[in-house]
């Protein structure tokens, strides 16, 4: 994975996970209810498109959810696509 050295920010005020690269911030909007994290929308600025930032963001977010013992509800189409490409992460998906 690229961007290993970058830290995922859990912006609890805005309910989003953020990854800042080259001064631009990509984010995933989320809601957490009980033990489930609903990933709603992923967005990366135009300047970061094609650099693997969104993929790194999703991977870091899933790692965080796993560490927090949260189950995943992937509402975002990009997260759903990521799960198709990386089926091992389906272990986090809520029943």
Question: With 90 as the cut, is the pLDDT of residue 24 above it?
Answer: yes
* Spacing of C-alpha 24 from chain mean position: 16
Question: With 60 as the cut, is the pLDDT of residue 5 above it?
Answer: yes
Please state, for a pLDDT cut of 90, what percent of the chain lies above it: 95
Question: With 90 as the cut, is the pLDDT of residue 2 above it?
Answer: no
Q: Distance between CA 69 and CA 29 in Å, rounded?
A: 19
Strand order in the sheet with 9-11: 9-11, 16-21, 24-33, 36-43, 71-74
**Average pLDDT of the residues in 1-9:** 87
Question: With 90 as the cut, is the pLDDT of residue 1 above it?
Answer: no
The pair of structure tokens assigned to 88 is 């091992």
Q: Distance between CA 26 and CA 45 in Å, rounded?
A: 6
**Average pLDDT of the residues in 5-9:** 96
Q: Which CATH number fits domain 9-92: 3.40.630.30, 3.40.50.1220, 3.30.565.10, 3.40.630.10?
A: 3.40.630.30
């Amino acid at each position: 994975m690229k961007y290993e050295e970058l830290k995922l920010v859990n912006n609890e005020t805005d309910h989003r996970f953020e990854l800042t690269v080259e001064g631009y911030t990509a984010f995933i909007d989320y809601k957490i209810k009980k033990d489930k994290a609903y990933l709603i929308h992923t967005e990366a600025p135009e300047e970061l498109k094609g650099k693997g930032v969104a993929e790194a963001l999703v991977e870091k977010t899933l790692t965080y959810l796993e560490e927090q013992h949260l189950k995943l509800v992937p509402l975002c189409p990009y997260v759903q696509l990521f799960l198709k490409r990386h089926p091992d992460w389906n272990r986090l998906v809520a029943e």
